[in-house]
Amino acid sequence: MSSIVAGIEMGGTGCKVAISDTNGQFTEQYSLQVVTTTSENTLLEIHDWLALKKSERPFVAIGIACFGPVDLNKKSKTYGYITTTPKPGWQYVNVVGAFHDLNVPIVFETDVNAPAMTEAALLGDTSAAYITIGTGVGVGLVINSQPIHGLMHPEGAHIKVERISGDDYSGCCPYHGSCIEGMSKAQAVAERLNISPSLLSTIPDDHPVWNIQAYYIAQLCAATMYLTSVERIIIGGGLMKRQILFKLIRKHFHQILNNYINIPIITQNIDEYICPSQLGDLIGIQSALDLAQTVVNKN
Ligand SMILES: [Zn+2]
């Protein structure tokens, strides 16, 4: 059974907060878009909106799908914190702690594990990867219907890549240079073209830079599938609004596999294996609401 719950989608440039309807679903009427500024101001704005709306629409739990890296270890002193993010002013910020005084259970997850959970549930799968490609690259994983936690959470975007011939771009990950994130996030594509990332939308679909980018994302898809055997790979994020990327990623994915995996969804229905979100732009906030519902269902 579903209840009224609150959800927070914490992003590096914008956040969304919402209170669900009685079926746990997102409704525009009870939602607020917040620009991500300083950690204090951003968390306060979200907190105050929830505090204000709670009397009107009482929610019984909060789900937070947060950009990372985050601490998901409940035994850790920094559980519920954003940890070593390169984002200025957001290192070691206590996100969960900012909402304790609202007196409801809080479920905290990464902004990629949470969507993987929602997508797997919607599709009736017990495993899924959710990859996001935008200002960063992230990989969330659900296996046996559970989000992957352990040492921390999956960091698949930092796997080193094999270079596509002709691409001499050095990569922009401050830690690894040419890892998947360093070779395929928006900044990497823009730097190859010597333009600002804000102008990427002006580059036509047939520009060769998209084929290069797709090759690196396809390597991430192949590594994820080989290692985890997920039943589905969902790809979202700002850059994936460019539909041609799905076609290019699937093409490279097949070439990388080289017929090694002989399963119909891979050989015949690749469009269903590597696919966009079922919920489009709402996946982030709905997945935060769904997280909150998991604690309601436990009680
Ligand atoms: Zn890296």
28 with 152, same domain? no
Residue 99 domain-assigned (yes or no) = yes
Q: How far apart (Å, rounded) are the C-alpha atoms in residues 36 and 53?
A: 20
pLDDT at res. 297: 81
Name the strands in the sheet holding 6-10, side by side, starting at the edge strand that comes first in the sequence: 31-35, 14-19, 6-10, 62-66, 106-110
Token pair listed for 95? 């996100």
Residue type, 104: V
Q: How far apart (Å, rounded) are the C-alpha atoms in residues 180 and 92?
A: 25
User: How close is the Cα of 173 to the center of ligand 1, in Å?
Assistant: 5
Q: How far apart (Å, rounded) are the C-alpha atoms in residues 201 and 242?
A: 9
Residue 73 domain-assigned (yes or no) = yes
Q: How far apart (Å, rounded) are the C-alpha atoms in residues 2 and 133?
A: 31
Name the strands in the sheet holding 274-275, side by side, starting at the edge strand that comes first in the sequence: 146-147, 137-143, 128-133, 233-236, 274-275
Residue 275 domain-assigned (yes or no) = no
Residue 273 domain-assigned (yes or no) = no
User: How close is the Cα of 228 to the center of ligand 1, in Å?
Assistant: 20
176 with 130, same domain? yes
Q: Range of 167's domain?
A: 115-261
Q: How far apart (Å, rounded) are the C-alpha atoms in residues 31 and 20?
A: 9
End-to-end CA distance of the chain: 11
User: How close is the Cα of 238 to the center of ligand 1, in Å?
Assistant: 19
User: How close is the Cα of 46 to the center of ligand 1, in Å?
Assistant: 31
Residue 271 domain-assigned (yes or no) = no
31 with 56, same domain? yes
Residue type, 210: W
Per-run averaged pLDDT (10 residues), the chain, 299 residues: 94 95 96 97 98 96 95 95 91 97 97 97 96 95 95 93 95 94 97 97 97 98 98 96 97 98 97 96 97 88
DSSP notation for 31-79: EEEEE--SHHHHHHHHHHHHHHHHTTS--S-EEEEE-SSB---TTSTTT
pLDDT at res. 2: 86
How many distinct structural domains can be found in the chain?
2
User: How close is the Cα of 55 to the center of ligand 1, in Å?
Assistant: 44
Answer whether 39's CB lies under 8 Å from 96's CB.
no
Coil, strand or helix at 234: strand
Bond prior to 69 in cis (omega within 30° of 0): yes
pLDDT at res. 296: 87
Strand partners, 71: none
27 with 160, same domain? no
DSSP state of 173: B
Answer whether 137's CB lies under 8 Å from 159's CB.
no
The reply to whether the predicted model has a pTM over 0.85 is yes
User: How close is the Cα of 132 to the center of ligand 1, in Å?
Assistant: 15
pLDDT at res. 141: 98
200 with 107, same domain? no
Q: At 230, give phi and psi (nearest 5°).
A: -60, 150
Residue 216 domain-assigned (yes or no) = yes
CA 92 to chain centre: 20
18 with 119, same domain? no
20 with 100, same domain? yes
79 with 182, same domain? no
147 with 242, same domain? yes
DSSP notation for 67-95: -SSB---TTSTTTTEE-S-SSTT-TTEET
Residue 187 domain-assigned (yes or no) = yes
130 with 163, same domain? yes
Residue 274 domain-assigned (yes or no) = no
**CATH assignment of the domain containing 291:** 3.30.420.40
User: How close is the Cα of 247 to the center of ligand 1, in Å?
Assistant: 25
pLDDT at res. 168: 95
131 with 197, same domain? yes
User: How close is the Cα of 205 to the center of ligand 1, in Å?
Assistant: 27
Residue type, 141: L
Q: At 16, give phi and psi (nearest 5°).
A: -130, 135
213 with 97, same domain? no
